[in-house]
Structure 1
Amino acid sequence: MWKSRAGTVTVSLVLLIAPLFAFHAALIDAARVRMAERQAETATKAALRSVLSAYDPALQSYGLFGLGVKPEESDKLFTDVLKRNLNATGGGAFRLTEAVPSSHAIQPLYTLANRTVFERQVLEEMKYRAPVEFAVSVTDKLKNRSGATAMLAGVSAFADKAKQIGRLVDERESRLDDAWADARDLAEKASIYRGYYAKKLERLDELCRLIGLRDAEEVRRSIQSLRSQAEELRRTIADRQAGLAELVRAGVQAPQQIAAIAQSIGQLEQSVGALQTQIGELEKILEYIAEYTLLLPATKLEAKRDQAILAGLTQRVFTQLDEAKALDERIRAETGSLPADSGIPAEALQVASLPDAYYIKFRTGLGGIGALFGGFETALDATTLFTGANKFDSARMATLTASNEAYGQKASQFTGEQRIEEDKRAAAAERLTRRKREEKLRFAQLWDQARKIWAECGGADDESYRKLELGDPSAGKPSLYRQYSDYNRSEAENGTSVDELDDAEEAIDRTKGMIDRLLEGLTAAAGQFRDELYVNEFALTKFNYRTYGKEKGADGKPKPDYERSARGSHKLPNQEAEYVLYGLNSCQSNQAAAYTEMFAIRLAVRTAEALMSPESKVTAVGSPMLTLLWAIAEGAIRAYEDMTKLTNGEEVPVTAKAPEAVAMGYKDYLRLFLLLHTKREPTTARMQSLIELNTGRDLRGTAVYVQARTETKVRLWFMPYTMAAFGYPIEDGKAVVSKTASLSY
């Protein structure tokens, strides 16, 4: 039987057909699984698109797209669409793939709270709504079409120069004040010295007359001789007194003899008295000689000391005068250095510097006092007592007296003449101080008037700002601003406060700082910050601001608002863009900050116009700082008028030097400030906070990027486990197909 050839063909065919059948069976199942995989992928994406189609209409009004349904609703929608797409044929029709969904999962990956995602949607919205040229047109008005930037740069440079010159003038005046005080001290000392040395010379002259031609040795010899004579007379008187006593004791009756002895004793006593008087006179002369001998050298030493004091004072005054003169030269060098294109005349920097004649006269007059006193000291030092060509006598007395009077008269003359010059200088300084005070007061009055309209807040907004900036600490709930800052792991910066323009000098500093930031920002805006411009424009397009609803078109009617964000019904009326810009915790603070910066720019422009006007050349000649104070007071008048128009929704020309068509409104200035204060992270966080405040939508739960994962099972017709070779898991004779899809708005 085994050797029979019957059936060999059949067996051969079976051996040939069986592999072919197995191969085609596996190929059919593989094709079905591949088709099911493609179908599952399409169904997953379709279901995911259906889920994303359920966007939040409240957010869409801001041009933002995010899921507007709850997770369970998203899951239900996804399941329904997925099943419908996997069972597209419906009914009992033959289905080649027989794909059945077994499980799925939807996971949101990013939300609108993510700063990058939020800004990408903002950019997508605004690149069609607000081309960059629309925002850059503001910078073009300032830079090219009006020449305002050149004017503002001129004001900034002028302010720097005026302050520098003002400091130099103040320093010069301080030096001259010190010099005049020291010069008066010197002149006063010279007057005191004149009187003092006049008395010394008078005493020397008196002693000289009293002494005469006698010298001390001769006087001492005379005194010795007279004392010897007086001693002899005293012995004679003693002998006669003893004899008289003996006669009386002996009882001799000789009255005539006794009277004669007594008379002789009296005469002798008178002679002794006369000798004593002569001795006293000679001793007095000896004292005069001693005083005379000591007085002249002591006077010489005092004159040398006083001459050194006057020389030191003179040198100190000369040093102060030299320093003041050097400051005057620096003041002259500072003038004429304004930018050529600023339009501000160089004469506005001219200052009343003192002429060289003032310093020459001061030095000459003061130096004359010291020189004349030096001559007196030299003459006194050359004077001798008793001998020599310059011995002290009446002629020498006359010479020394004349020399002493000369420097005293020179001191009096210098004081009188120089006081006239110093009084003029002091009067000019007083006039300057008074004019500065008047201009400061004029500005202060204008600023007080301007502050009355610096904010325009309606109803109370404390609750809204509490949610935005404070939160509820007792409940552990952070503010919305901190919530979005923390979500993006960025630091929650404090709001940008703007200091008030309390007085004219502070206004100069604040305005100059604003000018410098403005010029820097305009330079940076040329070709840079495109994304920032779009984000900034989003803040002005989707949110309200102070003049929202007041702006009028060319026909004089209020401009229509085509924005779907319903800016007029937001929780913070007429202040949202200001909040985005400054981030302060009240309507008044935010509007006042915008008003102050806006006023500073208008003040800078109007100040430049005042400096360029002919009046500036004659109003405050002699003090650039006074010129600047006058110009800023004049500018404040025009700036206040501008701000009144701007806050009423009107546009004002950028500058009176440009065509009236080159004008800007309140919104344009906010656009400019957003450019100057560009800080993407805090700005974005505040816009997200406002959106949640207005819509009640927590953007942290508003998905914009969703990932879905599905598992679909396909029943295999032939050999199930052969599909494992193709990488598909097999469960209960079914191939498991897994698909992942990610979609975003």
Structure 2
Amino acid sequence: MNKVKSDASQGSITIFSAVVLSGLLLFSAVLIDYARIVVLHKLTEDAARSGVRSVLSAYDERLYERYGLFGRGGTDGDEIFEQTVQANFGRDADAASIQGEDSFKLVQAELESAHTDPAEVLGEHDVFVHQVLEESKYKAPIDFTLELAAKFAPLSGTMKEATVTIDILEELRKLYDKREEKLSTVLQLQRDAAETVTNVAGLIPTKALALATGTQHAARLAGDYAQYASWVLTDRQLAEQGKKVRYSEQIADFEQKARAWMDEMARELALAKKQHDKLQGEAVQALQSAKQFNEEMQRIKQEAANAPSNNGYDRVTGKKLAGEDAEAEVVGADPANDMKEIQNTADELVLPDSWFTDYSQEISDQASVFASLQMEAGGFISNLAAGIATPSMNNEQIKEGAVNLRIAYEQYEGAYLRTGSRIDEREQKLTDKEVKKERQAQEAKAGQLWSKARNLLHGMTSVPQSEEHLKVIQEIEKRYKDNLLFNQKADDAEAAGLEVAGDAHEEAENASSLIGGLFGGIADMLEQTRDSVYMSEYVLQHYASFAPQNLRALLMNGDQAELAHAVAFNNQEAEYVIYGFHSTTANLAAAYGELIGVRMAIRTMEGLSACKASAHPLLILSCSIVYGLEKTMEDMVAFTERGAAPLSKYINVDVAYTDYLRLFMLVHGGSDRPSSLARMIAVIEHNDGVTLSQVPTAITGEVQATAKLWFLPGIMDMIQGFGSLQGKVVDGKYETTQTIGWSY
């Protein structure tokens, strides 16, 4: 009985053990396959990572050597990727084979597919900027740009005052000339009004020669009146006595002459009054316009005094910069004090309101004196008419009226017609002939000098363009537009063409504005970020700029032959990046136009101080512009000789043309604008023969691999249903896909 029970127990244990062991074996099999799946994931991921790194190890060597940019090049990327993945999958077996040993692999991965896709391309602006900045952070000599800023910094205070002075004087000059033109108009209208009165002079008259002539006039009529009255009275007595009258013809002749004179005098006076009143009214209007210009001058002076000081000059002033040394300090007395003194002299150009009140009264006085003449003429006509109606030998009013008429005319003539009249006196007060003459001479000289500078710029733009040069610029333009389209950016180029100032004064204003923008760019660079400096330095290091020496023949004798060969695009890449004109010469003209502008601004500042002794504000202005243009052209000669020129007579350092390009790039917003970036890319594409929008800088590699399951594929399929596996089970195989991204 016990034996039977023992056998039964042992059978139960065996069954229980079999059940337990079956579960353990099943669990172990699942764990083993799961472990193999994890190994497959890791193996596939490592193979994909190794593959993408291998693909990116093949880069465009020319692109890197010339521009420091990484981009895919060389062998096809998919080919490298697949070979690397295959090598990684078979690496262990290969190693065992080499050692002559049999190998056992827990997972025998089978490659189903492997390919790469570009994730980023060098033609994308964000990618391009990132690579440029990374390149420049290690290689761009940023201290060099800071040292350049340090050269200009000591001039900031002086240039601020010079800019304010030039701006004030130029604005006042324009209004001053308009005001003086209106005041000259007032004078001329007064003279024209006075001339309308001269037609009655012969009817009075006022000169002895006129008295002796046979022309009928007031003095003769007044002198003959007593005789006329005697004739009339005598004939009346004879008629009363019934006798024949004696003087009827003489009486009729006098009356006819008197009435003809009265008619003519009345007609001339009426015409004179009409013209006189009209011209006087126009004179009053012109004077009012002149006053308005003067008030505008007062406003400009007041605004200049209250102008805010937060500008590029003030932000640069006082900063301690890297590389700043004794060489870059102002030599001699600070010229800023001279500028402030000149600004104060500008008050002389503005007339007080009382001046216009007095002048307005003078115009009214002229009308009053004319009214007196008109009144005396009217009185004489009335007395003469009454004397004819009632003849009397004792009528002294006619003689007195003739005398008063002559006196009234002489008063008007002396005040407004003769040399030394009130109008002449007023003209003397208005116009300093010596100042005007000297100013005209200075303006003529400035015009000649500016014509020389303009001829240089026009000579650059008028250089014959070869077919070869045109083809290159057309290709560059196409690449530029294609890149903007690829980046979905609009063309924000600054201008469609080059504009050259019409005269020296306009150029002085443009130069003043340009130098202000230049100091603003320096201030932004010092206070905000160095990215713009990195970009600028990158352009100056990797892009060709035009050598000023190529302009020497054009500057010295107008010969364009040398320049025609030098305007090839590969000699002006940096200028193209800055200005963006799709022309073989416009970018050069723009760069050298701004160079002339900056040089003129600095040299005109020196001229203000040198010309301070001229006293009159507008003479100081014209003299300083002449000085500025003369020195600027000397600087241009220096650039064509050695590529550099002195910064200023107050700063004992040379600044090269390429240094000015660095600053111009700051003025134009650096090189991080979409249009600038597209131009940079277009130049690289032209030189390297690639399209950067097709050059990957980052790729994703995708590997699809499988491994056979050893034990129970069905169980793994069930596990997959619970979402516990990253891959999937297909026909007894586990399939996984791994995607890895990598970039330079």
TM-score by length of 2: 0.76
Q: Secondary structure at the match of 2:680?
A: helix
Partners of 1:342 and 1:169 lie apart in 2 by: 25
1:105 to 115, 125, 133: 115
| Partner SS state of residue 545, structure 1 | coil
The alignment status of 1:670 with 2:661, answered yes or no, reads: yes
* CA distance 1:399–1:429, change in 2 (3 Å): farther
- Asked if structure 2 preserves the Cα contact closer than 8 Å seen for 1:518 and 1:676, the reply is yes
What residue in structure 2 maps to residue 65 of structure 1?
70
Aligned to 1:127: 137
Match of 1:434 in 2: 440
User: Residue deviations 1:60-118, cap 9 Å, x none?
Assistant: 11111111125xx3222212211221222123411112122111121112211111111
State the alpha-carbon separation in 2 of the partners of residues 705 and 343 from structure 1.
60
Q: Which residue of structure 1 lines up, in the alignment, with residue 380 of structure 2?
A: 380
Q: Give the whole-Å Cα distance in 2 for the aligned partners of 1:485 and 1:159.
A: 41
Cα distance, 1:163 vs structure 2: 2.7
Measured after TM superposition, the shift of residue 57 of structure 1 is 0.7
Q: 1:637 aligns with which of 626, 630, 637?
A: 630
Paired residue for 2:52, among 48, 55, 60? 48
Question: For residues 519 and 208 of structure 1, do their structure 2 counterparts lie closer, same or farther at Cα, with a shift above 3 Å needed?
Answer: farther
**Matched residues, number:** 655
Q: CA RMSD in A?
A: 4.4
2:472–2:569 CA contact under 8 A, matched in 1: no
In structure 2, runs of 5+ residues without a counterpart are 206-216, 310-335, 551-566
1:559 maps to which residue? none
CA contact (8 A) 2:439 2:622 kept: no
Relative to structure 1, is the Cα distance of residues 344 and 16 closer, same or farther in structure 2, using a 3 angstrom cutoff?
same
Q: 1:571 and 1:709, CA in 2 relative to 1: closer, same or farther beyond 3 A?
A: farther
The correspondence for 1:617, drawn from 604, 613, 631, is: 613
Q: Does 1:584 align with 2:581?
A: yes
1:370 CA drift (Å): 2.5
Aligned residues of 1:191 and 1:411 also touching (Cα < 8 A): no
Shift of 1:493: 5.0
Structure-2 residue corresponding to 1:681: 674
Equivalents in 1 of 2:647, 2:462: separation in Å? 24
**Distance in 1 between residues matched to 2:85 and 2:598, nearest whole Å:** 61
Cα distance in 2 for partners of 1:192, 1:548 equals: 69
CA contact (8 A) 1:545 1:578 kept: yes
Q: Is the contact between residue 454 and residue 596 of structure 1 (CA under 8 Å) also seen in structure 2? A: no
- Within 5 A, what are the aligned runs for 1:140-155? 140-142=150-152, 144=153, 146-147=154-155, 149-155=156-162
Identify if the C-alpha distance between structure 1 residues 391 and 139 changes in structure 2 by more than 3 Å, giving closer, same or farther. farther
Residue number in structure 1 paired with 2:743 = 744
**Residues 387 and 395 of structure 2 are in contact (CA less than 8 Å); yes or no, is this contact kept in structure 1?**
no
String of CA shifts for 1:394-434, please: whole Å, max 9, x gaps. Answer: 52122112111112222332321137547753845761563
Aligned to 1:575: 572
**Structure 1 residue aligned with 2:605:** 608
Does 2:405 align with 1:404? Answer: yes
Amino acid in the other structure paired with 2:446? K
Classify 1:392/1:325 alpha carbon distance in 2 versus 1 (closer, same or farther; 3 Å): farther
Does the Cα contact within 8 Å between 2:58 and 2:73 map onto a contact in 1?
yes
- Asked if the contact 1:55–1:66 (Cα under 8 Å) also holds between the matched residues in 2, the reply is yes
Name the CA distance, whole Å, in 2 between partners of 1:460 and 1:370. Answer: 70
Shift of 1:637: 2.4
Residue identity (%): 23
Shift of 1:451: 5.2
Q: How far did 1:641 drift?
A: 2.9
Counterpart Cα distance in 2 of 1:51 and 1:332: 73
Q: Is the contact made by 2:218 and 2:402 (CA closer than 8 Å) also made in structure 1? A: no
Amino acid corresponding to residue 656 of structure 2 in structure 1: G
Q: Displacement, 1:524?
A: 3.6
Is 1:691 the counterpart of 2:688 in the alignment?
no
Q: Deviations over 1:279-305 (max 9, x none)?
A: 796598589779979987996797688
Matched, 1:489 2:488: yes
Name the structure 2 match of 1:94. 104
635-644 vs 90-99, greater mean Cα deviation: 635-644
Q: 1:220 to 1:734 in 2, by over 3 A?
A: farther
1:149-548 mapped onto 2 (5 Å cutoff): 149-197=156-204, 199-200=217-218, 202-203=220-221, 206=224, 209-212=227-230, 222=239, 278=244, 310=276, 317=283, 320=286, 324=290, 341=336, 343-347=338-342, 349-350=345-346, 359=359, 366=366, 369-370=369-370, 372-373=372-373, 376-377=376-377, 379-380=379-380, 383=383, 385=386, 394-414=395-415, 415=417, 416-418=419-421, 421=425, 425=431, 427-428=433-434, 431-432=437-438, 434-444=440-450, 446-447=452-453, 463=468, 466-470=471-475, 479-492=478-491, 496=495, 497-501=497-501, 503-528=503-528, 530-547=530-547
Alpha-carbon distance in structure 2 between the residues aligned to 1:454 and 1:701: 37
Does the Cα contact within 8 Å between 1:166 and 1:623 map onto a contact in 2?
no
Distance across 2 between alignment mates of 1:538 and 1:461: 30
Which residue is equivalent to 1:76? 79
Residues 101 and 711, structure 1, Cα contact 8 Å, conserved in 2: yes
Q: Which moved more, 1:203-212 or 1:433-442?
A: 203-212
TM-score normalised by structure 1 residue count? 0.76
Residues of 1 paired with 2:72 and 2:90: CA distance? Answer: 26
Equivalent position to 2:593, from 593, 596, 599:
596
Closer, same or farther: CA 326–674 of 1 in aligned 2, 3 Å: closer
Residue segments in structure 1 that go unaligned for 5+ positions in a row: 227-274, 472-477, 551-569
What's the counterpart of residue 733 of structure 1?
732
Measured after TM superposition, the shift of residue 444 of structure 1 is 3.1
- When residues 548 and 222 of structure 1 are mapped into structure 2, their CA distance, relative to the original with a 3 A threshold, is closer
Task: Give, in whole Å, the separation in 2 of the partners of 1:501 and 1:296.
Answer: 62
Q: 1:333 to 1:491 in 2, by over 3 A?
A: closer
Of the structure 1 ranges 151-160 and 98-107, higher mean CA displacement relative to structure 2 is found in 151-160
C-alpha change, 1:133 and 1:381, in structure 2 (3 Å) is farther
User: For 1:148-206, what per-residue CA distance to the aligned partner results, in whole angstroms no more than 9, with x for missing partners?
Assistant: x3333334333332233223332333233223323323333333224325525644664
Secondary structure of the residue aligned to 1:54 is coil
The residue identity in structure 1 corresponding to 2:161 is G
Classify 1:649/1:670 alpha carbon distance in 2 versus 1 (closer, same or farther; 3 Å): farther
Structure 2 vs 1, CA of residues 544 and 461 (structure 1 numbering), >3 Å: closer, same or farther? Answer: farther
CA displacement at 1:704 relative to structure 2: 0.9
Alpha-carbon distance in 1 for matches of 2:709, 2:298:
102
2:616 maps to amino acid: G
After superposition, the C-alpha distances for 1:94-151 in whole angstroms (9 at most, x for unaligned) are: 1112122111121112211111111111111112222655544434433x3x22x333
Equivalent residues of 1:194, 1:404 under 8 A apart:
no
Q: Equivalents in 2 of 1:712, 1:401: separation in Å?
A: 131
Q: CA deviation at 1:450?
A: 5.3
Post-superposition offset of 1:17:
0.9
Q: Secondary structure at the match of 1:743?
A: strand
Partner of 1:263: none
Distance 1:169 1:283 in 2: 66
Change (3 A) 1:395 1:547: same
| C-alpha distance in structure 1 between counterparts of 2:502 and 2:286, whole Å | 36
1:667 deviates by 1.8
| Most deviating of 42-51 and 321-330 | 321-330
Deviations, residues 533-568 of structure 1 (Å, cap 9, x unaligned): 322221111122224999xxxxxxxxxxxxxxxxxx
SS at match of 1:479: helix
Residue type matched to 2:178 in 1?
E
Alpha-carbon distance change, 134 to 281 in structure 1, aligned in 2, over 3 angstroms? same
Q: CA deviation at 1:622?
A: 3.0
Task: Work out the CA distance in 1 between the residues paired with 2:390 and 2:289.
Answer: 46
* CA drift at 1:445: 5.5
On the 8 A contact 1:481/1:492 being kept in 2, the answer is no
Sort the Cα spacing of 1:430 and 1:27 in 2 relative to 1 into closer, same or farther, 3 A: same
* Shift in alpha-carbon separation, 1:529–1:388, aligned structure 2, 3 A: farther
Counterpart residue type for residue 694 of structure 1? N
The answer to which of 386-395 and 440-449 deviates more is 386-395
Report whether the alignment pairs 1:29 with 2:33: yes
**CA distance, structure 2, for counterparts of residue 74 and residue 127 of structure 1:** 29
How far did residue 505 of structure 1 move? 2.8
Q: Secondary structure at the match of 1:120?
A: helix
